Structure 1
């Protein structure tokens, strides 16, 4: 298994770190049957990829064998944002490659410089990944991940753009919906919850992202399985 180096993973403010850690702990309370978790948003730019990456990191650093699958194959920026590169400089073959049949799952998933953390990045975006998601190979990938890792965190395209999220959700044990404070309407959130229900994907919780307190500090709160991650 090749190693993927995450060069850009800065330390978070203490309160935000604690909020994400509380999210990790509460997911652990959901039981052993929750293994494959989709992280999704209603619209772009709500912070779903950030939450997916940080939740993956939290689990791995807590000693839990966890894999992050970047399944947002339309507009993924995760590799660039976190400065991912393979040790030795060889070309990365990611999600779209493996779903197209290029290589086996074991060789496609990279170990990382985060102990217990493994990643299947998306190296090349594609115009229409729906066919890749709908074929049996994607279901086989998630089954493989579910059998070999305690948690599989799947970053998906937003629900309002395409049907990708519903397809992914139908194969996961639950979803975390990321909502941007002051931007995403309540009606949009309700519609997203209905889409997940239609896909047969339980809504595990809602992360309210980019919430600033009156003093501009970071804080965390919990109410009715909703998790608040605040940032300036």
Structure 2
């Protein structure tokens, strides 16, 4: 199958790499029933897509078969930011194409240059993707991923913008909430936690992002974790 190349991947600082490694390790402690994990934030520009991509890489590099679905179909920049293109050329069949029935699930997840790492990118933003996300086909896609990968990470639209995150979360085994240090209020974080609870999506942990401390500190609790790193 045609590989998906991430041209703009960079080497991360040691402290950041170690913080992400700690996040990966503790996800393994959540048990075998946690397979589909939504990566979400309260507001835009908190770094959720970065965490999603890097966590996929970390998991895959340990030999864990991992998929990343870009389900932020409103304003996603992941494909552009990472310079995603097919190794042998051609048009990428993105998330909206798959959910519209233009691509079979078995062909939807592109292998990458990272062994055991697969990505379903979003290349065509949609003005109103609610119909696609609320369809049975989206649920079937997540079930297919759950059956074929040890972990499936789903990058969603921020919780404060639309209801997409609640819909996606209702189909996941849990969520990791990315919070930008010094920018996101405690009340907004609490509100996001309540939204996830309302959707029946357990909050697995919180990544505290862009911390002004180069030591890359790390904190974790099983159901309410705090991952601190200088991202």
Smaller-chain TM-score bracket: over 0.9
Normalising by structure 2, we get a TM-score of 0.97
Bigger drift between 82-91 and 152-161 goes to: 82-91
Q: How does 1:167-178 map to 2 (within 5 A)?
A: 167-178=167-178
Q: Hey, what does 2:159 align to over in structure 1?
A: 159
C-alpha contact (below 8 Å) 1:96/1:124 kept by paired residues? yes
Q: How does 1:1-232 map to 2 (within 5 A)?
A: 1-213=1-213, 217-224=214-221, 225-231=225-231
Q: Distance in 2 between matches of 1:46 and 1:58?
A: 20
C-alpha contact (below 8 Å) 1:212/1:218 kept by paired residues? no
Q: Distance in 1 between matches of 2:24 and 2:126?
A: 31
C-alpha contact (below 8 Å) 2:178/2:207 kept by paired residues? yes
Q: Distance in 1 between matches of 2:19 and 2:217?
A: 5
Q: Distance in 1 between matches of 2:104 and 2:114?
A: 23
Q: What is the aligned residue count?
A: 228
C-alpha contact (below 8 Å) 2:38/2:172 kept by paired residues? yes
C-alpha contact (below 8 Å) 1:72/1:155 kept by paired residues? yes
**Counterpart secondary structure, 1:221:** coil
Q: Distance in 1 between matches of 2:212 and 2:226?
A: 16
Listed as ranges, the gaps of 5+ residues in structure 2 are none
Q: Distance in 2 between matches of 1:218 and 1:112?
A: 31
Per-residue Cα deviation, 1:175-200 (whole angstroms, up to 9, x for no partner): 00000000000000000000000000
C-alpha contact (below 8 Å) 1:2/1:107 kept by paired residues? no
Q: Distance in 2 between matches of 1:51 and 1:160?
A: 19
**Segments ≥4 residues shifted beyond 4 Å:** none
C-alpha contact (below 8 Å) 1:71/1:157 kept by paired residues? yes
Q: Distance in 2 between matches of 1:158 and 1:47?
A: 11
Per-residue Cα deviation, 1:109-134 (whole angstroms, up to 9, x for no partner): 10110100000000100000000000
Normalising by structure 1, we get a TM-score of 0.97
